[in-house]
């Protein structure tokens, strides 16, 4: 006779099921938004100039920085509370609205100064138009956090997808009719307005007029304490766009950011599903040392064997991808995409190590590594500027070669494993991907004079064969590990989370 589940067990399974469903809907939202943005980007590059893309990149840098620094910490102060009251949410709403109004005013009045700083004619009106986006963010950020806190991820996913479609449709229409940079502005403004309006429709919560002084003091205290981390995050995420725009001009910033957005879309498609699968598994075994070690090794193996060939493959054929997708004037985005794609697997591994630091209650380690990465990137950027050679994208990839080994070493301070265990988990996938990269580059040099589509088909097919053969030669255990994990996750989700994750139960090395 099957024993009855305890209330605690039922609650754990319910929370686990909600988390799994949330991860699925978050992944779906990202896929919808990125696919829409990708298609809109491809169309707009045929109607909008590189300089106009540079202007919108600078304005997007400003709006997102204000969001991270002013709004996200207020939302986090409420979400982290175990039980937030309506007064807590109302207090957060009015503080967010006040801060967003301040950010909007700052961006509007500082538009002329920014135009002079970047020596970018036409930037001021773009920033003034985009300043309203900051205000709209403040109107909906608390509602978004309420939905997240109550696991309403389906509503968030639908909201994000519909808003992206609405903004993309308006942007493409304006671009076709020759609106130039205002087509890009229109896309962002309509997307933000649609997202805010839908947020108020799908969220049942409404702000009240009463605020809590206690909640306000807690929010202000948390805001002050977390501001440093928010600024570090802004520097880490946006210093590349800032430096390229400042020293190379808005046209170069436009070319750089098109390559960056293509890499970003691929990151969401490839890395987000892996995180959705592996991060919940890691969280489940975080208090069991042997299983945590085994889960980390399995996750690193999965990341290296999936992400390394995808991104190094894109790096190898980046010029052909640009030639196929974009107009001829965007050919300079090819080297940018190649460098950024080549560095993407290293950044994914850094992010995954950060996950362990957060699970182990060492978030400061992740912040310090992020600051180190940004400092090295800035130093390399200026070194390349002095030398006068090399792609600016190199500056934001090469620091990973220094920071990643340090990050890997820090994982050995938290888990009873050695640095060579970390290397053993990632080496087969990267070694096979590097062999594939070299093979594709050599083959590409001998495939001149044929159509871009046929050339890409041949290169991708031969690259896949080279990677598969090399992985079976040097990393058969890694390939077996990936297939076993995926089959286990399939069985786990098929049973709606009621079974056990037997693949992570064994404390032994999967290889």
pLDDT in tens, 435-460: 999 999 999 988 887 888 999 999 99
Residue 68 has pLDDT above 70, yes or no: yes
Residues comprising the chain, all counted: 511
Lowest mean pLDDT among 306-310, 331-335, 352-356: 352-356
Mean pLDDT calculated for residue range 64-93: 82
pLDDT tier for residue 283 given thresholds of 50, 70 and 90? low
3-state helix, strand, coil in the chain (%, to 5): 85, 0, 15
DSSP 4: P
Mean pLDDT calculated for residue range 127-148: 90
Alpha-carbon span 128 to 113, nearest angstrom: 12
| Helix (H/G/I), strand (E/B), else coil: 90 | helix
Mean pLDDT calculated for residue range 484-501: 53
Helix or strand holding residue 111 (H, E): helix 111-118
Residue 300 has pLDDT above 80, yes or no: yes
More confident residue, 38 or 258: 258
Helix or strand holding residue 156 (H, E): helix 153-176
Mean pLDDT calculated for residue range 296-303: 80
If you average pLDDT over every residue of the chain, what do you get? 82
Mean pLDDT calculated for residue range 231-258: 90
Rg (CA), the chain: 24
Alpha-carbon span 302 to 240, nearest angstrom: 29
pLDDT tier for residue 352 given thresholds of 50, 70 and 90? confident
6 phi-psi bin (left φ>0, alpha ψ -120 to 50, beta other): beta
* Spans of all domains in the chain: 9-248, 269-511
Of residues 441, 435, 446, the one with CA closest to residue 316:
441
DSSP 502: G
In contact, 215 and 89? CB cutoff 8 Å: no
Mean pLDDT calculated for residue range 238-255: 93
The reported pLDDT for the residue numbered 9 is 46
pLDDT tier for residue 227 given thresholds of 50, 70 and 90? confident
Alpha-carbon span 150 to 216, nearest angstrom: 22
Residue identified by tokens 């996913």 is 157
User: What whole-number percentage of the chain has pLDDT above 70?
Assistant: 82
Of residues 291, 359, 352, the one with CA closest to residue 503:
291
Of residues 229, 232, 226, 230, the one with CA closest to residue 374:
232
Alpha-carbon span 116 to 30, nearest angstrom: 35
The reported pLDDT for the residue numbered 77 is 77
Residues 6+ apart with CB under 8 A from 414: 356, 357, 360, 362
Q: Which two tokens stand for residue 122?
A: 């036409």
**Whole-Å CA distances, 265 to 31, 271, 325, 450:** 9, 10, 14, 28
The reported pLDDT for the residue numbered 500 is 43
Of residues 351, 365, 387, the one with CA closest to residue 270:
351
What are the two backbone dihedrals, phi and then psi, of residue 438, each rounded to the nearest 5 degrees?
-65, -45
Alpha-carbon span 321 to 334, nearest angstrom: 8
Lowest mean pLDDT among 139-143, 154-158, 289-293, 295-299: 289-293
pLDDT tier for residue 189 given thresholds of 50, 70 and 90? very high
The reported pLDDT for the residue numbered 414 is 80
CA 267 to chain CA mean position, Å:
7
Range from 214-218, 228-232, 506-510 that averages highest in pLDDT: 214-218
Torsion angle, alpha carbons of 216, 222, 228, 232, to 10: -100
The reported pLDDT for the residue numbered 367 is 81
Residue 33 has pLDDT above 80, yes or no: no
Alpha-carbon span 419 to 403, nearest angstrom: 14
Residue 364: count of CB within 10 angstroms of its CB: 10
Model pLDDT for residues 363-414, shown as the tens digit of each residue: 788 888 988 999 999 999 999 999 887 788 999 999 999 999 999 999 888 8
Of residues 104, 127, 102, the one with CA closest to residue 114:
127
pLDDT tier for residue 328 given thresholds of 50, 70 and 90? confident
């Amino acid at each position: 006779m099957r024993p009855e589940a305890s209330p605690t067990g039922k609650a754990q399974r319910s929370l686990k099921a909600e988390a799994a469903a949330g991860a699925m809907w978050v992944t779906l939202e990202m896929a919808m938004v990125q696919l829409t943005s990708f298609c809109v980007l491809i169309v707009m590059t045929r109607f909008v100039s590189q300089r106009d893309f540079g202007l919108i990149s600078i304005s997007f840098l400003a709006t997102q920085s204000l969001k991270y620094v002013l709004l996200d910490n207020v939302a986090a102060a409420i979400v982290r509370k175990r039980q937030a009251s309506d007064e807590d949410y109302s207090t957060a709403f009015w503080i967010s609205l006040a801060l967003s109004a301040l950010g909007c005013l700052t961006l509007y009045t500082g538009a002329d100064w920014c135009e002079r700083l970047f020596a970018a004619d036409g930037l001021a009106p773009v920033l003034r138009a985009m300043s309203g986006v900051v205000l709209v963010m403040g109107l909906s950020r608390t509602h978004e956090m309420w939905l997240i806190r109550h696991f309403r991820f389906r509503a968030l996913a639908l909201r994000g997808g519909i808003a992206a479609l609405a903004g993309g449709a308006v942007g493409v229409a304006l671009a076709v009719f020759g609106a130039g940079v205002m087509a890009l502005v229109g896309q962002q403004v309509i997307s933000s307005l649609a997202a805010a309006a839908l947020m108020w429709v799908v969220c049942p919560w409404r702000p009240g007029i009463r605020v809590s002084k206690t909640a306000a003091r807690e929010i202000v205290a948390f805001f002050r304490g977390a501001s440093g981390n928010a600024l570090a995050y802004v520097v880490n995420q946006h210093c590349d766009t800032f430096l390229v725009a400042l020293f190379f001009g808005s046209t170069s910033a436009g070319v750089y950011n098109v390559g960056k957005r293509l890499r970003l879309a691929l990151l969401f498609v490839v890395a987000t599903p892996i995180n959705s699968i592996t991060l919940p598994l890691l969280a489940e075994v975080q208090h069991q040392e042997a299983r945590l070690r085994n889960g980390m090794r399995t996750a690193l193996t999965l990341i290296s064997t999936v992400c390394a060939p995808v991104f190094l493959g894109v790096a190898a054929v980046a010029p052909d991808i640009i030639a196929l997708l974009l107009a001829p004037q965007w050919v300079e985005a090819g080297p940018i995409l190649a460098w950024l794609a080549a560095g993407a697997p290293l950044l994914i591994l850094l992010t995954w190590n950060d996950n362990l630091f957060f699970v182990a209650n060492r978030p400061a380690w992740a912040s310090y590594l992020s600051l180190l990465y940004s400092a090295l990137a800035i130093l390399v950027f200026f070194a390349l500027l002095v030398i006068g050679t090399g792609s600016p994208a190199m500056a934001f990839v090469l620091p990973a070669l220094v920071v990643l080994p340090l990050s890997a070493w820090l994982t050995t301070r938290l888990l009873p494993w050695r640095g060579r265990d970390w290397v053993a988990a990632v080496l087969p996938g990267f070694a096979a991907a590097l062999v594939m990269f070299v093979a594709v580059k050599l083959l590409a040099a001998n495939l001149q004079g044929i159509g871009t589509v046929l050339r890409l088909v041949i290169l991708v097919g031969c690259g896949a064969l080279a990677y598969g053969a090399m992985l079976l030669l040097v990393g058969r255990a890694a390939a077996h590990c990936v297939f076993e994990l995926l089959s286990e996750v399939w069985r786990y989700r098929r049973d709606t989370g009621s079974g056990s994750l037997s693949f992570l139960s064994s404390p032994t090395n999967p290889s």
